[in-house]
Amino acid sequence: MRGYIVKRSVPSLVFTGLLALGTVSTAHAELKIGVVDTQRLMNDAPQAKVAIEQIRTEFAPRERELQTLGASLKAREDKLAKDGATMTEAQRTSAEKELRDGYRDAQKLQAEIQDDLNARRNEEIARGLCLVGPHRDDLTLTLGDTTLLYSPGETFDATVVMKQAGRDKFGFVGLALKDAGNTTIGTFTIDDMVRTRTFNDGSRKYVSHTPCGADAVPPDSLSWTFHWKAPATNVGNITLYLAGLAANHNHALSGDDTYTLTVHLVPDSIILGAKNPIAGSSLRLWPNPASEAVYFTLEGASSGQTIHQAEIWSAAGQMVCITDLTENKLTVAGLEAGGYRLFLRDEDGAVIGQANFVKL
């Protein structure tokens, strides 16, 4: 975060932070402006740029109002500094009071704008997370079980794919860690011992390519397969970490590109337990497959349960949407084609419905 401090003025710089979806705070006679990198919020997607432009247009009249007020205050402050010595005590006291009141009004206006901006920002972030998915295919991990739930002792078939045009050398390394303590968990096994291997580094266990498994013929992409067996008991959430390398084959440490990916697995006992779908409830989605939106109804839930929030998870273990719900409709037009899992939560965060769907 970058910071700017402006002494006793309200310049147009305020909206440099506002229109970047940043935060603004005031203290005494200082206005502190922080700028948040919006590209981290929405992956620099076209939808995000459209949202920012919409907010820019929406807040433009209020920006002009704030700029006009700032210019007026600056002119009055300059006049007081110039003429103060020739003013009577009463005139100077009155002018200083008017200036203080003016700054107070400016800070109040700025705070009101910030509150409104925060509300709009939260709306666009919630909406944008449903419109903007993980638009990437440079490094992917596909699991045979796409629910992203693990049962004790379950074996997952995994395929790693790397893509980058013009490259003919690729590599990867992966490991599975228990979220509680970041310790190695589960067991990696391989079928193709020529192109893949497992190895230990200290207490951690890894799966990776071999030197013979790094050549891409033809170039531009390469894939590997392995298996991962879940622990024999429920150990809580587990994260699969993957790193990939696309090399330019110049036999040097320059010009190579690295990629990272994480996939989150949740024990099925949590999803199906007491804090999750109510016995007898059934989540029905339509249409499925869907291209623009999915509609849903939760049948059999108790009368006291209300749907508050929706989460959509990709088959790669990434949460691509989290949004509050005001209707039984969820926009999915911005998601990439593939399989997804929808979770519906109540106000306490309990999962009260879940179902798979396919995005065309």
Residue reference for tokens 């893949």: 196
Could you give the CA distance from residue 236 to residue 234 in angstroms, rounded to a whole number?
6
187, 249 in Cβ contact below 8 A? Answer: no
Long-range contact list for 74-77, CB < 8 A, 24+ apart? 74/9, 76/102, 77/8, 77/9
Number of CB atoms found within 10 A of residue 307's CB: 21
pTM of the model: 0.46
pLDDT of residue 136: 52
pLDDT of residue 277: 38
Fold: same for 139-270 and 274-359: yes
Query: What count of Cα atoms within 13 Å lies in the side-chain half-sphere of residue 94?
Result: 5
pLDDT of residue 309: 85
CATH class of 274-359: mainly beta
H-helix or E-strand spanning residue 298: strand 293-299
pLDDT of residue 249: 76
pLDDT in tens, 90-136: 988 998 898 888 888 888 888 888 778 767 666 655 454 454 333 45
**Cα 344 vs. chain centroid, distance in angstroms?**
19
Pairing verdict, β 30-35 and 23-27? antiparallel
Ordered DSSP codes for 60-113: HHHHHHHHHHHHHHHHHHHHHHHHGGGS-HHHHHHHHHHHHHHHHHHHHHHHHH
Residue 343 forms beta bridges with which residues?
311, 354
Question: Which residues in the chain come in under a pLDDT of 70?
Answer: 1-53, 118, 120-137, 146-147, 253, 269-281, 300-305, 315-317
- The CATH H-level (homologous superfamily) assignment of domain 139-270 is Reeler domain (2.60.40.4060)
pLDDT of residue 304: 58
pLDDT of residue 279: 41
Question: How would you label 7-35 residue by residue, b for 16+ Cβ within 10 Å and e otherwise?
Answer: eebbbeebbebbbbbbbbebeeeebebeb
pLDDT of residue 31: 33
Please compute Rg for the chain using Cα positions. 28
* Domain residue spans of the chain: 2-131, 139-270, 274-359
Write phi, then psi, for 261 (nearest 5 degrees).
-155, 145
Residue reference for tokens 């432009």: 53
pLDDT in tens, 325-338: 878 888 888 888 77
